[in-house]
Amino acid sequence: MSTVTLTLENAIAVITINNPPINATSHAVRSGIVDALDQIDGNDDIRAAILICDGKTFIAGADVSEFGQPPKAPILPDVIKRIEAATKPFIAAIHGHALGGGLEVALGCHYRIADSTAKLGLPEVNLGLIPGAGGTTRLPRLIPVSEAVSMITSGKPISATKANEIGLLDAITHGALGDAARDFAKTILSRGTPAWLLARDPIDAPSSAQWDDITSATKKKARGQVAPLAAISAIRNGIEHGPDAGLDFEREKFIELRDSDQSKALRHIFFAERSVAKLPELKGVEPNPIHQVGVIGGGIMGAGIATASLLAGFDVTIIERDEAACDNGRATVEKHIAGSLKRGLISQDRFDALMASLSTSIDYAALSHADLVVEAVFEDMAVKHDVFGKLSLHCKADAVLASNTSYLDINEIASRCINPQRVIGLHFFSPAHIMKLLEVVRTKSADAQSLATAFEFARALGKIAVPCGVCDGFIGNRIMSAYRKHCEYMLEDGALPDQIDAAMVEFGFPMGLFAMQDMAGLEISWATRKRLAPFRDPAERYVALGDYLCEMGRFGKKNGLGWYHYDDNGKAQPDPEVDALVIAESAKKGITRRDFTSTEILDVILGAMRSEGDKILAEGIANNADAIDVVMVNGYGFPRHKGGPMFMTGNED
């Protein structure tokens, strides 16, 4: 079948794009649209045209195979201008996703109708870009400028309902899109071709002072990313200097950003996230079907895993030690799902159905039909052995048994289990129902089907699954332990907690290491250090400051005292008592303290990340450097627009 086909139905022409999987704006698509336009404009019997797509979606982006290649005519901005200048009214019929260049094509059409489940967006900022085919100039002339700013600077798609409310759509259909588009076309035959968007005035343009406020708020959210601010400049330019100047400015900025380090980094992590879980050894391996999921432990992590599983459509059973713990686990899950209800992400009927799919029990026999079970109990090997022993007895033979341990040796856990080939690690990140990252830990005995099932489970949960081998801390926690150690060295050598955290935030992390520890709870890492104490090299430099804080009852934000002091509103403040403790420890060890610049602090942190990453690669714990970058960006707040520590290593001057 041709990539673009043209059919005639009475006075209506239908241009159909068929370029799976996302109907990307490839050269063949662009050329096909222009050829169809020539035929339509030359046929006096045609009075209107519909642009529609086969498959699961409308045009959902650019052709990634053309990234980095010289542009090949006709380029997308010219195709859109050609649609806009058509002598017959054009209707974009949207289903699935209209993203990036796809939405820009729809903006070039004179009318837009969408399926009620469609999503529309301009996500270019997520790749370090801005719309490059007129999006920043046309969109503010169709919807209020504030809405256009939000869509373009956030990169987040909006629903068809929202799009209709703000004027982005002319109609929504709940039925067959093609039929609805044809019916709509008949209603506009007498109207003629409406004015181009470029000929319209912007809607509710901000004042100069309001633009300053918009720019300031965008800069704060961007945390060092340049594309959102460039988008603001492009939108404002098109409004204040007119559409022609706006289109020229937008294209200039788009090309400038396309060649920038930030865009290269963002494109790197975009593709890395989509390739990291594609293991050659799993090609052709069918995962086990999953219908019922078991979760051992209904605490913070277990309840989060249960919530994610319910939202993915699975029946879930939580096993706890007693009925009171079962009730607490259920209440936590209900709170999470009620949050989705409150935000309008699910309906009341959906909420009721999800809660009906959750059961709790103190009897492991309740897992006799579970297809996959995730253990999320206390980090103690004896406790883990007890749990997996019970799972071996009560679960069916092909059920995949997973541990959510952060540090413990899953090979040892598997060794005590019947059918160790079905034991794997599924290391979730808290809060488990929100965080996208999931480390899938391959034990030495895990078989291909268990791994395939784990990756399918991750996909169903909407997680970014990163395969890794067994070691203390796997990929993410191992690297964090390494740079935390060096941050602690800097404390003894002359830095203070708030100085290190400030340097990290300035670099682009959402929060610094010590603030993050306070949020997680200092007793967690304290328990790990105590567990590893018998195996610690006596010659290794050890910083006991975190231990001292826990011994003082300072466990972090939860009790208002950790590395920081927290006021009644939960805001962190540097604590003179902690600073004095740090300085005293330096004196006790005979260390002469010195000043650290932000650059020096980041050099130490990034150096520690890269060094540990190199060791992880050498040991085969990670398949490649991309896996490390994906983990650090999605699990530890490494700034996305930097691409990850390993990417930065290969892209420094």
Residues known to be catalytic: 104, 124
CA gap 271, 264 in Å, rounded: 11
What would you report as the CA-atom Rg of the chain, rounded to the nearest whole angstrom?
28
DSSP E strands, 420-472: 423-428, 437-441, 464-468
Cβ atoms of 457 and 463 closer than 8 Å:
no
- Residue 279 has a CB neighbour count (10 Å cut-off) of 16
| Alpha-carbon torsion angle 435, 439, 440, 442, nearest 10 | -170
Residue 620 — left, alpha, or beta (φ > 0 → left; ψ -120 to 50 → alpha)?
left
Angle, vertex CA 15, rays to CA 10 and CA 17, nearest 5: 150
**Which H/E stretch holds residue 9?**
strand 4-9
Q: What are phi and psi of 314, to 5 degrees?
A: -95, 150
Using alpha carbons, list the distances in angstroms from residue 586 to 216, 500, 512.
41, 17, 22
What residues have CB less than 8 Å from 550, skipping those under 6 apart? Answer: 522, 523, 526
Cβ neighbourhood burial of 519 (10 Å; 0-12, 13-18, 19+): middle
**Cβ atoms 421, 392 nearer than 8 A:** no
φ, ψ dihedrals at 543, nearest 5°:
-105, 120
Question: In a 3-state reduction of DSSP, which class is residue 81?
Answer: helix
Distance CA 376, CA 306 (A): 10
End-to-end CA distance of the chain: 48
Distance CA 14, CA 53 (A): 10
CA distance 293 to 309: 7
Q: Are strands 12-17 and 4-9 parallel, antiparallel or unpaired?
A: antiparallel
DSSP string computed for 193-232:
PPPPGGGSPPBSPPPHHHHHHHHHHHHHHHTT-SHHHHHH
- On whether the CB atoms of residues 413 and 390 are closer than 8 A, the answer is no
